[in-house]
Each structure stands twice: as C-alpha cells, then as structure tokens.
C-alpha cells in the first residue's frame, strides 16, 4: 500500500510537525478496501473463537487439566492479538494516531507482552507434551494444575518485565518523526536481544523437545501395534494412554503452525524489514498475527470437547444451574 502526497494533515494546526493522513493510491483503492475487510473479519473471528476457548476451559471443570490451562493462556494472548494488535494494524493504514504518545507506548508495550507470552506458552506446551510422552509414569506428579498455573503466571510476569526493555515510558513518542504517528523503533542491540530471547532460543527448545516426542511417540505406536517389546517399553505403553499420543499429535500440529507463522516474521527482522519489499513485510507481519486465528481452528478440527463446548455456549445451556459439571468428551 502506498500513500498519496496530499496537504491533508492529521493535525492541521501543527502544519510543520503534523503527519499526513494515510491515503491509498487510486489504483489500489479496491485492493485497499478488500484487505481491510479481510483483516477486520480475521480480527473478529480471532476474538470470537478464542473467547469460546477462554469461556470453555474456565467454566467446565472437566476441562481443568494442566494441558488445557496452557491452552487457556495461549488463547488469552491470541484473544489480545485479535482485540488490540490487529485493529491497530488496520487503523495504522487508514487513519492517524490521535490517542497520544503515552497510549502509543502502552500499545507497543502490550504488543511485546502478547508476543513474548505466546512464545512462552508454546514452549510450556512443548515441555508438557515431552513429559507426558517421554516420562508418563511421573507426569501426574510432575505436571500438576498448581505448578502449571504458577508457570503460566511466571510466563506473563516475565513477559511484562522483559517488555519494559523495549518501551520507554519516560519519553513517549520521542521516536516519532511527526505528530499523528505511533512508532517503536528499537536499536540494533535491543533488536538482537529480542531475536535471541523470543525466537532463536525458544524455537530451538521447541524443535528439540518435539523431535524427542516424535521419536518416542512413533516407538510407542509401533509397540502398541506389534505387542512385541521389552518389558520396560511395555510398561511405558501401558501407562501412556492413547489420548496422550493423540494430544501430542494435535499439539504438534499447533506447534508446527506456530513455527510456520512466526519464523518468516523473525527471519524478516533478521534480514531487516526495511530491506524487504513493502508487500513482503506486510505479508509476514499479517501471517504472524494470523496464527492467533488458526489456533482455535486447530482445536475445532481435532478436539471434540471444544466443538461440544461451543454448542453449549451458543445454545446458552452454559447458563443453566450446574452446567460447569457437564460431561465434556
């Protein structure tokens, strides 16, 4: 998308320092409208689907499992992407920033928190599946609801503290070139640190853990088919339920989609977004956000409990007395 050089300013009273209102080129007007309609639809769908997940796991006691608590945390971050980050990207190309420099800094702060918390949640999900598949005998004692809730709280707390490194609340707006703009250009050192902390290290951990999970899951699947294994393997297969293997496959799909959506964005940062074609930079950014819409669609595709919970919510049976005790398959 380009911007047309006009005299229409965001703040006409500040003629010399005001930004120009973003205006699409005439030749791009229809594509501009279509893009914003698509993004608005994705934003609404992201908010709606993730809200279903949040309500389902929070309300129904049968869904209060360690794995689902991690999915709940991920759904909260995805919900914020649809509610806050995607609308901001839509408005960035259609209007000026009228909320002030402090609100701009707060928005940038929230965006860093949501991104880092999402990465942390996926790492925790990978650890959960690793213990469930590779050490099933100790899973009930090592991965408890209390410990998982503590880890989720620490994940969000650390994300909040970490994000303060990249947003300056003492001098908000100092990096803006004009009034009506909302930017957060971090320096090379901070950019490198963020790349290592929120991409290279987590992705390395996720890949290593899931490679191990994949190897063990394949060996256990073969053991269940052949019934000819060593005593130790037979014990492991007996203790590991088929549902755990199915959950590992489902969450493996979730992790794979996460990597597909996140890797192009961080690779673009590594190359330098300013060196890329504008359409490429926009694509990797929107693919980054689109992951938040895909996650609940994965749940709907693979988890019967999510589909049943959505039906109960839509039919308002969730409001009936004792509905939290309903059996969810």
Tell me, yes or no, whether 294 lies in a domain: yes
Residue 90 lies in a domain: yes
Residue 69 forms part of a structural domain: yes
Cα(250)–Cα(236) distance, integer angstroms: 21
pLDDT for 242 equals 60
Give the CA radius of gyration of the chain: 23
Structural domain boundaries enclosing 132: 29-322
Contact between residue 303 and residue 310 where contact means Cβ atoms under 8 Å apart: no
Best CA proximity match to 73, nearest among 118, 126, 123: 118
Within a domain: 191: yes
Number of domains in the chain: 1
3-state helix, strand, coil in the chain (%, to 5): 75, 0, 25
Q: For residue 23, what pLDDT band results from cuts at 50, 70 and 90?
A: low
- Is residue 204 in a domain? yes
Residue 119 confidence (pLDDT) above 60: yes
The confidence band for 230, taking pLDDT boundaries of 50, 70 and 90, is very low
DSSP type of residue 172? T
Q: What is the pTM of this model?
A: 0.85
pLDDT tens-digit map of 69-83: 999 999 999 999 999
CA 254 to chain centre: 11
Residue 77 within any structural domain of the chain: yes
Gap between the Cα atoms of 160 and 13, Å rounded: 37
Q: In terms of C-beta density within 10 A (0-12 exposed, 13-18 middle, 19 or more buried), how is residue 73 classed?
A: buried
Write the pLDDT tens digit of every residue in 144-170. 999 999 999 999 999 999 999 888 777
Does residue 96 lie in a domain region? yes
Where b means 16+ CB within 10 Å and e means fewer, 252-288 reads bebbebbbebbebbbebbeeeeeeeeeeebbebbbbb
Summarised one tens digit per residue, pLDDT across range 187-197 is: 777 778 888 89
Q: Look at residue 10 and tell me if it is in a domain.
A: no
CATH number at residue 190: 1.20.1070.10
């Amino acid at each position: 998308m380009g911007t047309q050089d006009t005299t229409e300013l965001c703040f006409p009273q500040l003629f010399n320092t005001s930004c120009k209102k973003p205006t699409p080129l005439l030749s791009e007007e229809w594509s501009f409208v279509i893009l914003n309609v698509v993004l608005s639809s994705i934003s609404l769908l992201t908010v709606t689907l993730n809200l279903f997940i949040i309500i389902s796991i929070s309300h129904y006691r049968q869904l209060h499992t360690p794995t689902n608590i991690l999915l709940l945390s991920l759904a909260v971050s995805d919900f914020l992407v649809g509610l806050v980050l995607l609308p901001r990207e839509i408005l960035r190309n259609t209007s000026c920033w009228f909320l002030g420099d402090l609100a701009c800094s707060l928005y940038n702060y929230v965006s860093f928190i949501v991104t880092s918390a999402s990465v942390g949640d996926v790492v925790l999900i990978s650890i959960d599946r690793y213990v469930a598949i590779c050490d099933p005998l100790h899973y009930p004692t090592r991965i408890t609801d209390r410990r998982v809730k503590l880890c989720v709280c620490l994940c969000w707390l650390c994300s909040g503290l970490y994000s303060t490194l990249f947003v300056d609340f003492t001098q908000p707006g100092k990096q803006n070139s004009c009034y009506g703009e909302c930017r957060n250009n971090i320096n090379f050192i901070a950019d490198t640190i963020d790349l290592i902390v929120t991409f290279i290290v987590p992705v390395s951990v996720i890949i290593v853990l899931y490679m191990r999970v994949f190897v063990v899951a394949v060996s256990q699947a073969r053991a269940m088919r052949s019934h000819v294994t060593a005593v130790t393997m037979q014990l492991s297969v007996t203790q590991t339920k088929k549902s755990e293997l199915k959950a590992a496959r489902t969450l493996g799909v979730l992790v794979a989609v996460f990597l597909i959506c996140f890797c192009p964005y961080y690779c673009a940062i590594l190359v330098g977004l300013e060196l890329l074609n504008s359409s490429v930079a926009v694509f990797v950014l929107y693919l980054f956000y689109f992951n938040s819409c895909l996650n609940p669609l994965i749940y709907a595709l693979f988890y019967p409990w999510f589909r049943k919970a959505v039906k109960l919510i839509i039919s308002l049976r969730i409001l009936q007395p004792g509905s939290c005790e309903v059996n969810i398959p």
